[in-house]
Amino acid sequence: MIVNTAAYHFVEIADPDALAEAVRERAEALALKGSVLVAGEGINLFLAGQAPDIEAFYAWLRGDSRLQPLHVKYSHSEAMPFARLKVKRKAEIISFRRDDASPLAGERAPAVAPETLRRWLRQGHDDRGRRVVLLDTRNQQEVAHGTFAGALTLPITRFTELPGALAPHRPALADATVVSFCTGGIRCEKAALWMQADGMDNVLQLEGGILGYFEAVGGEGYDGHCFVFDERVALDPQLRPLHDPTPA
């Protein structure tokens, strides 16, 4: 059984090249595969391997005090979903190209826990009686596999297109509590920060994204699967892969 992990953490990394090389060496030594992006703003990881090796890697990574708060989301598959290990140094761990969306500039955007969002969806409004609008910050390819029922989806192919695509909808969102979401939390966190900086004070991010929601409460209120960027293609609300080829 392969353990698949997704994790990110926004924190200032003064030595991203050094961290990327250390991560590469440690992951290779443990025979892990997947992708890791390291930037001055933090780290983004999708790694898979045998359970003891995954455990050893994240124990080592959290030995860096900057990364101790890292929250890891887990799923399982019979086969390894990655062909190789890729560790890259990037300008951003998710490209958005908006200075006013930096999680390092101040406090992170306010978040809503999966359990709270499920309750809001059941009752049809948030705790102040405001209607809730779920904003999908992912691209069209991902949305095609599934999204929250009734979510606002945008005709984008890349994350950098979100501000322009959202513009026509903003007047209609003024009286709502807007909850941005994505696969694991990284895009919806940046999107929520940008929306706040751009004058929207009614925006929250879904803590842990779709995968965190599935892990915490299952698939209530969600239609379909969650697309993932590996050979599993997508996961259902029980975190089972849509495609899980027989191990070689």
182 included as an active-site residue: yes
Residue 109 gets which letter from DSSP? P
Measured CA to CA, the distance from residue 34 to residue 4 in angstroms comes to 9
Across the beta sheet with 2-10, the strand order is 71-77, 2-10, 42-49, 33-39, 85-89
Q: Which of 61, 182, 204, 217 does the annotation list as catalytic?
A: 182
Look at residues 179, 201, 171 and name the one whose alpha carbon lies nearest to residue 126: 179
Q: Which contacts (CB < 8 Å, 24+ apart) does range 22-29 have?
A: 23/61, 23/87, 24/85, 24/87, 26/57, 26/60, 26/61, 27/57, 27/85, 27/87, 28/85
- 73 in helix, strand or coil? strand
Please give the positions annotated as active site.
182
